[in-house]
Structure 1
Amino acid sequence: MMFMQVDMIPPAVVGTRNVLDACSKAKAKRVVVVSSIGAVIVNPNWPKDQAMDEECWSDQDFCKTTQKYYCLAKTIAESEAVEYAKKRELDIVTVCPSIVIGPMLQPTVNASSLLLLTILKGGHESMEDNIRYLVDVRDVAEAILLVYEKPEAKGRYICTSYTMKMQALVNKLKGMYPNYNFPKSFTEVDDNNKLSSEKLQELGWKYRPLEESIVDAVKNYEERGLLLKE
């Protein structure tokens, strides 16, 4: 895990700073930094009965303690961007997407795509019934364009569409694609945090039906041969 800490954090932070330096020199009118809900949701002190919104930041010390280095890297990088905006008077807006599903554009499978692929390809008799926050890749692209173009967009924006427990997601996939090998059982997890995209929706953002995202994702995986048995 120490390797992951050394490996992930400097590129995220230094890379963000380098891009912002270039934008500042180019006198960019607005910069949209794509962060992650990883910079939002790892906060044990947030009230359990209150949906996490843009005021919620992942606790850096808790990320270190629990070895959530991806979330730590995203939190530090986004915090750096916010501070950079204050010091350089650069107009920066951040977008924090959740797990991105839908058709893949990139040639290799990323962590978000693995969520549906892992469920569909099987091999797991049991899974933890924890919460997953989902958003379509095309809706993320529209959110980024929206906050870039809207003059009134300020600060950070959580970008997520659906909150589902793993068992509910598997049952939906099973109803749509009954011939795949799905997990047989689920382990209960105390995981009931809510996540709000209300601020982004108030700006005019809309998202597509979950079924559309799933259908287009699975079709894309099938066309790429990603669902073939190894």
Structure 2
Amino acid sequence: MGVVRKWESRTEELEAFRRQLVAAAGIHRRKDDEGRRTTKTVVDDEEERALLCVTSGVSYLGLALVNHLLLLGYSVRIIIHNPEDIEKLSEMEPCGTSEHNLEVVIANLTDIDSLEKAFEGCRGVFHTSAFTDPAGLSGYTKSMAEIEVRVAENVMEACASTSSVKRCVFTSSLSACMWQNNAQSETSPVINHESWSSESFCIEKKLWYALGKLRAEKTAWRIANERGLKLTSICPALITGPEFYQRNPTATIAYLKGAQEIYSNGLLATVDLKKVVEAHSSVFKAMNNNACGRYICFDNVIGTQSEAENLAKEIGMPKEKICGDESNNSLHRFELSNEKLCRLMSRPIRCISEY
């Protein structure tokens, strides 16, 4: 592991490169975001000196989470895999406050010693579980699922072995909860924070993304319980937002494998990127009061063909791949509930949906 640089000491060349990329991408700040960037730190006195670490910090979710944590007044350390990833920080918009502090480190997620060094001095770790297809394809293979589990094990062991780390927020997926075997009569009609996907069903259907998230999260919980580490896991639905497919193709395509069945079961849900990062910071703060556990995170359930067609259009997928036809009816339909997260957060974000 090596410290690459602090945000305030980046070279003029990199800053110029960042500005060029942002300008070329036509990024414009919304007025409501402008107001947020001039807001002073909102973390309490106990948290104000906290240094937090975000793994996969230059991923679609990771970048948004880092920006959000900086806006809240935290200091943030980003883990990247190689120096070239530093260029992805061009996607971050300035926080507009001199109080923020961002540093970047190189660490190997498959090496516990490297992770322990990266976590040293951090009070909390956000493991955002972001992986890309090593073959360069927009998919998620069985081998990637195995890597995801190994990395989760390493991250949790490193968290437990680093004395400064008090809390970990683990990004899982709704796919780790929603794949049920409809043939089993005892299957609950409600999918919530207590639900787990059927491992055998995922293997049978070759749902490697769901299997990877399922096994990785279970591994995280096992180690947290064994080592006495405070852990919270968030299971977001399909993450959407600006250019979500272009910037997050592997996870998007992998999540939508078996989309027709998800849709017909009433479980094709999405969540806006901004709400996902807000959920992460909310559960982290709540962990001060021992509010740990699992949380399902979504803000919309796609229940009509027109909504499914709009989603298919956004990602350039034939609509039949998502919604089939009008005669595509499920034998067993479910309810999707994120009531637990709604109770935690101060405002409702659509608590129960039924189709």
Among 298, 303, 307, the alignment partner of 1:165 is 303
- State whether residues 139 and 206 of structure 1, in contact with CA within 8 Å, keep that contact through their aligned partners in structure 2: no
- In 2, Cα distance between the equivalents of 1:142 and 1:152? 18
Query: How big is the shift at 1:4?
Result: 2.5
Is 1:135 the counterpart of 2:276? The answer is no
Query: How big is the shift at 1:171?
Result: 6.7
Query: How big is the shift at 1:161?
Result: 1.4
- In 1, Cα distance between the equivalents of 2:155 and 2:342? 28
Query: How big is the shift at 1:53?
Result: 1.0
- In 2, Cα distance between the equivalents of 1:77 and 1:49? 23
Post-superposition Cα deviations, 1:58-83, rounded to whole Å, max 9, x if no partner, equal 11111111111111111111001111
Corresponding residue of 1:154? 292
Query: How big is the shift at 1:153?
Result: 1.9
Corresponding residue of 1:61? 200
3-state SS of 2:155 partner: helix
Corresponding residue of 2:167? 30
- In 1, Cα distance between the equivalents of 2:245 and 2:201? 32
Corresponding residue of 1:198? 339
Identity of aligned residues (%): 27
Corresponding residue of 1:10? 146
- In 2, Cα distance between the equivalents of 1:105 and 1:147? 24
Is 1:73 the counterpart of 2:209? The answer is no
Post-superposition Cα deviations, 1:18-53, rounded to whole Å, max 9, x if no partner, equal 111221222311100000011100122476673211
Evaluate the alpha carbon distance shift between residue 50 and residue 205 of structure 1 in structure 2; reply closer, same or farther with a 3 A threshold.
farther
- In 2, Cα distance between the equivalents of 1:105 and 1:165? 21
Q: Which amino acid aligns with 2:241?
A: G
Evaluate the alpha carbon distance shift between residue 61 and residue 186 of structure 1 in structure 2; reply closer, same or farther with a 3 A threshold.
closer
Which of 140-149 and 60-69 deviates more? 60-69
Q: Give the TM-score, by structure 2 length.
A: 0.47
Is 1:43 the counterpart of 2:180? The answer is yes
Evaluate the alpha carbon distance shift between residue 74 and residue 49 of structure 1 in structure 2; reply closer, same or farther with a 3 A threshold.
closer
- In 2, Cα distance between the equivalents of 1:13 and 1:183? 32
- In 1, Cα distance between the equivalents of 2:243 and 2:310? 21
Q: Which amino acid aligns with 1:96?
A: C
Q: Which amino acid aligns with 1:34?
A: T
Post-superposition Cα deviations, 1:185-221, rounded to whole Å, max 9, x if no partner, equal 9422416322110000010154679xxxxxxxxxxxx
Post-superposition Cα deviations, 1:5-25, rounded to whole Å, max 9, x if no partner, equal 2x1222111111111122122
- In 2, Cα distance between the equivalents of 1:112 and 1:197? 21
- State whether residues 139 and 207 of structure 1, in contact with CA within 8 Å, keep that contact through their aligned partners in structure 2: no
Query: How big is the shift at 1:112?
Result: 5.8
Pairing 1:203-218 to 2, within 5 Å after superposition: 203-204=344-345, 206=347
Q: Which amino acid aligns with 1:198?
A: E
Larger radius of gyration: 2
- In 2, Cα distance between the equivalents of 1:106 and 1:60? 27
Which of 46-55 and 7-16 deviates more? 46-55
Q: Give the TM-score, by structure 1 length.
A: 0.70
Is 1:52 the counterpart of 2:191? The answer is yes
3-state SS of 1:78 partner: helix
- State whether residues 101 and 135 of structure 1, in contact with CA within 8 Å, keep that contact through their aligned partners in structure 2: yes
Evaluate the alpha carbon distance shift between residue 50 and residue 107 of structure 1 in structure 2; reply closer, same or farther with a 3 A threshold.
closer
Corresponding residue of 2:156? 20
Q: Number of matched residues?
A: 192
Evaluate the alpha carbon distance shift between residue 208 and residue 55 of structure 1 in structure 2; reply closer, same or farther with a 3 A threshold.
closer
Q: Which amino acid aligns with 2:141?
A: M
Q: Which has the higher contact order (CA 8 A, sep 6+)?
A: 1
Q: Which amino acid aligns with 1:202?
A: R
3-state SS of 1:192 partner: coil
- State whether residues 176 and 214 of structure 2, in contact with CA within 8 Å, keep that contact through their aligned partners in structure 1: yes
- State whether residues 31 and 92 of structure 1, in contact with CA within 8 Å, keep that contact through their aligned partners in structure 2: yes
Q: Point out where structure 2 has 5 or more consecutive residues left out of the alignment.
A: 1-139, 351-355
- State whether residues 236 and 271 of structure 2, in contact with CA within 8 Å, keep that contact through their aligned partners in structure 1: yes
